[in-house]
Amino acid sequence: MPELPEVETVKRTLNDLVNGKQIESVTVRLARIIQRPDDIQAFANLLAGHSIVKVERRGKFLRIVLDGLVLVSHLRMEGRYGLFSNEDPLDKHTHVIFHFTDGTELRYTDVRQFGTMHLFQIGEDLQLPPLNKLGQEPLEPSFTPERFKQIVSGKSTKIKSLLLNQEYIVGIGNIYVDESLHRAGIHPEVGAKDLSDDQLNQLHHAIVSTLAEAVNAGGSSVKSYVNGQGESGTYQQQLLIYGRKDQPCNHCGTMIEKTVVGGRGTHYCPSCQRKADN
Ligand SMILES: [Zn+2]
């Protein structure tokens, strides 16, 4: 599933591709992608005639801002956008097509069909599901070490589960939580409230630097993620721990292990990330 760096990359490429384009009509080929409004014809009718102003991101969601409307889009497992000419052949997994007045079209393709779109009047979207309960953005200046300590404070949840909870901090998924915990030398099953001040500072730094570096690399291409222009990110080449089971830790040479924490596959170095040290 794309996480913050991948969605941020899609956001940036979409801004280059579709800003200023006016929607002439919309074709919905798979109704279940459209979560709001209930009726796909109403969805299409509402969007017709509107122009895309900019594309933003909130957590792992894209906010496609139009004049007067906001389309909130979650790519889930394998959703992707691409800009095409209206003469290009359609992929059988293309489910939503935004036809622009200039003869191009933005196509949403999703092999797994788990992606969602919610359409709102502008200003409404941040007050209603799915965006209304989202927590702190980790790459904004407001995410200080102090803010991080407030979020973690008093919570007995395993630190990995806490970091994955989008109501606390948004955008971090399984890849970047494993990377951040490894960089900070913290075992994924340690209770959040048991982390020392020092560890929280290190973890804060690890989260911010890992996400920022991944954004700079265009995200990680694991499984089938590509950005809005069909290009793959390169951060997977820099991953220190995720996906490296039974390979030696770059730091200490110990074999990386994989376990399950909170139902999620979890990579860690048993030597660098000791439970007993916490
Ligand atoms: Zn190690």
CATH, residue 186: 1.10.8.50
In this prediction, residue 223 carries a pLDDT of: 58
Annotated ligand binding at 58? The verdict is no
Domain membership of residue 158 as a residue range: 145-268
How many domains does the structure of the chain reveal? 2
Cβ-based burial of 153 (10 A; exposed 0-12, middle 13-18, buried ≥19): exposed
In this prediction, residue 278 carries a pLDDT of: 43
In this prediction, residue 231 carries a pLDDT of: 72
For 40-87, the pLDDT digits (tens) are 999 999 999 999 999 999 999 999 999 999 999 999 988 999 999 999
Entry pTM: 0.93
Q: Is 92 a catalytic residue?
A: no
For the chain, count helices (H), then strands (E).
Answer: 6, 11
Q: Where are the alpha helices (DSSP H) in the chain?
A: 4-18, 40-47, 145-152, 159-164, 174-184, 197-216
CATH number for the domain harbouring residue 26:
3.20.190.10
Q: Is the pLDDT of residue 270 over 90?
A: yes
Cα angle value 23/68/102 (rounded, 5°)? 15
Average of pLDDT values for 120-148? Answer: 97
Q: Are residues 253 and 187 in the same domain?
A: yes
Q: Is 107 a catalytic residue?
A: no
Q: Is 5 a catalytic residue?
A: no
Q: Are residues 194 and 101 in the same domain?
A: no
Distance 156 CA to ligand 1 centre (A): 26
Annotated ligand binding at 93? The verdict is yes
Annotated ligand binding at 155? The verdict is yes
Q: Are residues 254 and 174 in the same domain?
A: yes
* DSSP-derived secondary structure letter, 25: E
Residue 166 or 226, more confident: 166
Distance 214 CA to ligand 1 centre (A): 21
Cβ-based burial of 253 (10 A; exposed 0-12, middle 13-18, buried ≥19): exposed
Q: Are residues 11 and 118 in the same domain?
A: yes
Q: Are residues 54 and 97 in the same domain?
A: yes
Beta bridge partners of 217: none
Q: Are residues 23 and 59 in the same domain?
A: yes
Average of pLDDT values for 124-131? Answer: 96
